[in-house]
Copies of this chain bind each other. A is one copy, B any other.
Amino acid sequence: MNYYAKPVARLIDELGKLPGIGPKTAQRLAFHLLHAPPEVAANLAKAMQEARNAIHHCSLCGNLTDVDPCFICGDERRRRDSICVVERPRDVASMEKARGFRGLYHVLHGAISPMEGVGPEQLNIRNLLKRLSGGEVKEVILATNPNVEGDATALYLSGLIRPLGIRVTRLAHGLPVGADLEYADEVTLGRALEGRQEMK
């Protein structure tokens, strides 16, 4: 049934295709866009189109970028001897927010998942090996997600990279900072125990 003028219905429809946006939210967003000053919708539309047009994958690390190499790969102040391997571009942002890492990244664009038909050949692995062949890299930090797919991917990559004589590490498992022991799941707690460290 059509309760709205066609352009409104179409806008609600397109908004409703976004992940996590149900029909009610789509409707609310549509009315917001129609009631707000015209530049709100115009700026959003422009940002979407510009991002789609300008953004591609960095030829070195595979991260999303509008310049090539990306601003991290192109940053002279970053260490070139360690590469942090992540699944998604958003993981680069998470790592950067944590601030601890000053090397370069490599984005796989996924993780090995036989259930979803994703094998190593679908991931950005060939470029990683090419980067490692230069001999400049001394350590690869595997920062894939701490779940089945991420662990499988880390294991696979470790098997490829360690024979090259490069140090391969994995982000530590353990209790999240600020967490409550009572509510930690037993697997996390087990890993936290396993990875316990000397008090300094």
A: residues with CB less than 8 A from B are 1, 3-8, 10-11, 13-15, 17-21, 25, 27-34, 38, 40-52, 54-55, 63-67, 70-71, 88-90, 92-93, 96-97
| Nearest CB of B to A35, in Å | 9
- Counting every copy of the chain, the complex holds 2
A7 touches B55 (CB 8 A): yes
Which residues does chain B contribute within 8 Å of A50, judged by CB atoms? Answer: 7, 10-11
Interface of A is mostly: helix
Which residues does chain B contribute within 8 Å of A48, judged by CB atoms? Answer: 11, 14, 33, 41, 44-45
A41 to B96: give the CA distance in the assembly, Å: 27
A33 touches B52 (CB 8 A): yes
Q: Which residue of B lies closest to A70 (CB)?
A: B5
A10 to B55: give the CA distance in the assembly, Å: 12
A92 touches B34 (CB 8 A): no
Which residues does chain B contribute within 8 Å of A71, judged by CB atoms? Answer: 5
